[in-house]
Structure 1
Amino acid sequence: MKNGAVSSIAQQALGYIQKLYQIEREVIELNPDDRRRSRQEQAKPILDEFHGWLTRHRLQEPNGSSTAKAIDYSLKRWKALVHYLGDGLVPIDNNWIENRIRPIATGRKNWLFAGSLRAGKRTAAIMSLIQSAKLNGHDPFLYLKDILSPLPNQPNSRISELLPHRWLPYFET
């Protein structure tokens, strides 16, 4: 097989995955209970068939081959892969969150030049707070402005109140 060519096994696997994503496009606007129900009715049979397909094809693949490794990866994580079926609030994948944390991962290289290890750790902590604030629907500037004022007087036992997922604004914007 030439570099860049997709094997017929990979194409078949992608066919299952495409069917699952098509279902997600159809149920995205449903409320969580209806989405869960639709997933159970439509996606679960496809996933059951896919699991059997993976198991059968794994027996045909030589140990150590790229295809065997890919199938093993999927089968070992099967429980996590199908978790979304039981909860209409859980997305089919974690692409959304990965796209949100990518700047942090990319920034790690830049933090090597923050001046010192301590400064790099502080930068990483601030970047984590900023990304968490964004993920929780807050304006990062207003969030940091709001929490930095009370922070010096906040008892350690109540620091968690200032985390983005629990934060309630102190000041009006």
Structure 2
Amino acid sequence: MWVYATGHTDEGICLYDYRTTRAGKHAKNFLHGFNGYLHTDGYAGYNVVPNIKLVGCLAHVRRKYSQALTAIKDVESTSHTKAKEGLQYCNQLFALEKKWKALSPEDRHEKRQEEMEPILDAFFAWAKNMKKVALSKSALGSAIQYTINQWPKVITILADGRLEISNNRAERMVKPFVINRKNFLFCNTAKGAQASAIVQSIVETAKANKIKPLAYLTYLFEQLPNIDVNNSEELNTLLPWSESIPQNCKTE
């Protein structure tokens, strides 16, 4: 189950797309005609999508150092200290993003240039130096190599204030499906999976726009039989961000 989501500066849209494999061609086909920034985890399958600029996920980088700390039992060791240093770099960057959450994209972009770029430069220089001394097959060595591999995507965040520091938005939208899938055992065919993807898309997009899913679905079932579903203008009035959505569908 693939998931695609808009960024925080756009209307909240979450689309699930069932495919039989996780081959990159599915993302390429789904995103045909799209050009711009694409936030992803470190999966190499997204590299085949044309006309996009990949944006890395610092949360995945941070997780590597967190895992390294857990794996290193000797808290007095040099490796433990160095893994903590890598984690602290990540924490500094997340702290800045939290502080700038309410800023406009333009102001956030300016702040990143002034305050975030020096920390990113120092982090990358540290990672390159550590690569020379860390054991490549150790948990710390793996975290450092992952950082270096993902770096061209991670620093893309400096290019535009609309970009986010992690892919957690999409990760959060995957979670409801993962939690609920044991309730979907009746969807045991490809068509069943496609149907559940459609329903999940409607529900999660409603939630992203502060619309109550049950009330919204009820409203859709009442309205759809009475409109021309081939008329995009009429369908637009039923989208979760439309001003015509009744008040009883909206959360407080």
State the TM-score bracket (shorter-chain normalisation): 0.7 to 0.9
Q: Which amino acid aligns with 1:168?
A: S
| Structure 1 unmatched ranges of 5 or more | none
Q: Percent identity?
A: 26
User: What TM-score do you get using the length of structure 1 for normalisation?
Assistant: 0.77
Q: Do 1:27 and 1:35's aligned partners in 2 also have CA atoms closer than 8 Å? A: yes
Q: Do 2:177 and 2:200's aligned partners in 1 also have CA atoms closer than 8 Å? A: yes
Identify the residue that residue 164 of structure 2 maps to in structure 1: 91
Q: How does 1:7-156 map to 2 (within 5 A)?
A: 7-111=80-184, 113-114=185-186, 116-117=188-189, 118-148=191-221, 149-150=223-224, 153-155=228-230
Matched, 1:2 2:76: no
Q: Do 1:100 and 1:135's aligned partners in 2 also have CA atoms closer than 8 Å? A: no
Q: Which has the higher contact order (CA 8 A, sep 6+)?
A: 2
CA positional deviation for 1:87: 2.2
Deviations 1:23-55 (A, max 9, x none): 223322322211111111001010011011111
Could you say if the C-alpha distance between residues 115 and 77 of structure 1 is closer, same or farther in structure 2, counting changes exceeding 3 Å? closer
CA positional deviation for 1:115: 5.7
Number of equivalenced pairs: 170
Counterpart Cα distance in 2 of 1:104 and 1:115 = 13
Counterpart Cα distance in 2 of 1:3 and 1:104 = 38
Could you say if the C-alpha distance between residues 165 and 115 of structure 1 is closer, same or farther in structure 2, counting changes exceeding 3 Å? closer
CA positional deviation for 1:77: 1.7
CA positional deviation for 1:73: 1.8
Structure whose residues are more often strand by fraction = 2
Could you say if the C-alpha distance between residues 27 and 54 of structure 1 is closer, same or farther in structure 2, counting changes exceeding 3 Å? same
Could you say if the C-alpha distance between residues 153 and 74 of structure 1 is closer, same or farther in structure 2, counting changes exceeding 3 Å? same
User: What TM-score do you get using the length of structure 2 for normalisation?
Assistant: 0.56
Runs of 4+ in 1 over 4 A off after TM superposition: 3-6, 164-167
Q: What value does the CA root-mean-square deviation take over the aligned residues? A: 3.2
Counterpart Cα distance in 2 of 1:172 and 1:131 = 18
Q: Which one has a bigger Cα radius of gyration?
A: 1
| Structure 2 unmatched ranges of 5 or more | 1-71, 248-252
Counterpart Cα distance in 2 of 1:90 and 1:66 = 29
